[in-house]
Amino acid sequence: MSECGYIPDPDEMKKDNAMWLWWLPWWGEFVYKREGYKPVFDKDGYTVINEKYMTEDFMKRVMAHPDVIMREDLPWYDKDKHKLPDALSANLERINSK
């Protein structure tokens, strides 16, 4: 697969034997709330997840799923050379720490 709107549910994919090599959800309002073209931030400065498309619980479950590997966890990926954007990195850390 490739770029997509919704992140596919790994459990449903496994059940249907429809495993994807990779996926990339549409950015912007599919991931976080926006006012016009600007993201909405919470009191701590993190972007607010847009639960219209995917809930925070769903995103946590998918990102922690044993069949999902994050780009920065690939053995050939140089984390120091290709860092994630600060806003994305901070949000992933916040979501994974809950």
Task: Map 41-98 to HEC letters.
Answer: ECCCCCECECCCCCCHHHHHHHHHCCCCCCHHHCCCCCCCCCCCCHHHHHHHHHHHHC
The model's pTM: 0.67
What confidence tens digit (pLDDT) does each residue in 67-94 have? Answer: 988 877 878 877 777 766 666 666 666 7
pLDDT (0 to 100) of residue 95:
66
The residue among 91 and 41 whose pLDDT is bigger is 41
CA 10 to chain centre: 13
Quote the tokens at residue 47: 């972007």
Quote the tokens at residue 25: 């959800």
Share of the chain above pLDDT 90, in %: 20
